[in-house]
Amino acid sequence: MGIRRVCAVLASLLVVAGCAEVGSAMDDANAVADQASVCAEALGLADLNPLIDKERLQARAEDKERRLRELAGDVADEDIKASLLGLADSYVQVQKERLDDAGVVARWVQRNTERLDALRVACT
């Protein structure tokens, strides 16, 4: 009886350990799916038309900045988080710029493109 009991206990431990491994793998898969979802949404937020009226531009930039910060709070990966916060900062910055100057618009677009590229790299 002693050997059967030991075998039963060992078998139970193996099953529990196996379940823990499966649970861990599922958590990892969910984290990757969440990360992909965050990246996809953030990349979709990255448009902004500087040629619309200033009030609409400011409202859209505020919405994008807020949502990017929310997404940054939802992701564990530090590179992705930093990229999201950098993009959010660019939308704060665009609200303060004189967008009637084509040079200012071109510089903002260039900086924002670089930040988007950094996000794309962090997301892959």
Q: Once rounded to an integer, what is the mean pLDDT over residues 75-85? A: 93
pLDDT tens across 65-74, in order?
999 999 999 9
What's the DSSP call for residue 11?
A: H
Which residues, other chains included, contact 61 with Cβ-Cβ below 8 Å and sequence gap of 6+?
Answer: 48, 91, 92, 94, 95
Q: For tokens 């939308």, what's the residue?
A: 91
Residue with tokens 């900086």: 111
Residues 108 and 99: their CA atoms lie apart, in Å, by 9
| Cβ atoms within 10 Å, residue 68 | 25
Q: Confidence class of residue 113 from pLDDT cuts 50, 70 and 90?
A: confident
Count of Cβ atoms closer than 10 Å to residue 65 Cβ: 21
